[in-house]
Amino acid sequence: MKKTLLSLAVASLVCASMAEARLFVGVEGGYTAQKSYDTGLNNRASTFLFSMPSTSVISDALDKGSKGYSLGVTLGTEDVGSIFGTRWYLGAGYTSVSKDFAGKSWSREYIDASVGFDLILNFFNNGSSSFGIFGGVSADYHYWLNSSDYKEEYFATFSKHIFDFSGKAGITTMLAKHNRLEVFAKLPIASMSITDSKEAILGGNHSPANVTFGASYKFIF
């Protein structure tokens, strides 16, 4: 009987949480800097590697890396109380960066897809408007559109398929119950690489680390 009551209580909480979750759609964009780092992957044998960029890679991206922009759209749900909140989302976008190297301008263009989760902490919330901070993580897939422009004499083995993980944090403001405005920083956490004896299947000997500073708008239904 106790187990039955506990199950019903848990089910009621889950249903209540789902009922309070609100759908949102959003757009975002920002300044992106990119720097490739050595993953330590051995491309002479079938290998899987999970690698993390050092903090110097992030500073090098901002100082010496390729520069450009990222644009995206998001679709997700958020469940935000008076103080704490959570949200899940799917994202799709486009990133373009470039840099002059060896007397030539080298550009990189990507189609991006992501799934992410954020925690929200409100410092102020009057039911209609709120102000707070958020932080979260995302898993990101990138399809390198112009990877064929890059020669191995300049760059190590790359795949056109890139999969990595990022951390995201920023300031969030809700206006009139439906309009959420945010500024954020997105930093690289880790990447995955897979090769066989012939080529890189995912990632590669070097992986691009993206640093983005941006802003977003979400309409909350």
pLDDT of residue 82: 93
pLDDT per residue over 162-210, tens digit each?
Answer: 999 999 999 999 999 999 999 999 999 999 988 876 778 888 888 899 9
pLDDT of residue 42: 64
Question: Which residue did the predictor score with more confidence, 86 or 17?
Answer: 86
Q: How far apart are CA 16 and CA 86, in angstroms?
A: 14
pLDDT at 1 over 60: no
- What count of other Cβ atoms lies within 10 Å of the Cβ of residue 65? 22
Q: How far apart are CA 153 and CA 159, in angstroms?
A: 15
pLDDT of residue 48: 83
| 8 Å CB contact between 166 and 140 | yes
pLDDT of residue 8: 45
**Per-residue exposure over 179-198, b if at least 16 CB sit within 10 Å of its own CB, e if not:** ebebebebbbebbbbbbeee
pLDDT of residue 17: 43
- What count of other Cβ atoms lies within 10 Å of the Cβ of residue 213? 16
Domains, the chain, ranges and CATH?
22-220 (2.40.160.20)
Lowest mean pLDDT among 14-23, 102-111, 152-161: 14-23
pLDDT-based confidence at residue 62 (cuts at 50, 70, 90): very high
Strands 206-220 and 104-125: unpaired
Phi, psi of 203 (to 5 degrees): 70, -125
- The secondary element (H helix, E strand) that includes residue 74 is strand 66-80
pLDDT of residue 19: 44
Lowest mean pLDDT among 14-23, 53-62, 126-135, 144-153: 14-23
Phi, psi of 182 (to 5 degrees): -145, 150
Among 193, 213, 196, 197, smallest CA distance to 205 is for 193
Mean pLDDT of 55-74: 94
Q: How far apart are CA 173 and CA 78, in angstroms?
A: 14
The mean pLDDT of the chain is: 87
pLDDT per residue over 7-50, tens digit each?
Answer: 544 443 444 344 479 999 999 999 999 998 888 776 556 688 88
pLDDT of residue 3: 55
Global confidence as pTM: 0.85
pLDDT of residue 105: 83
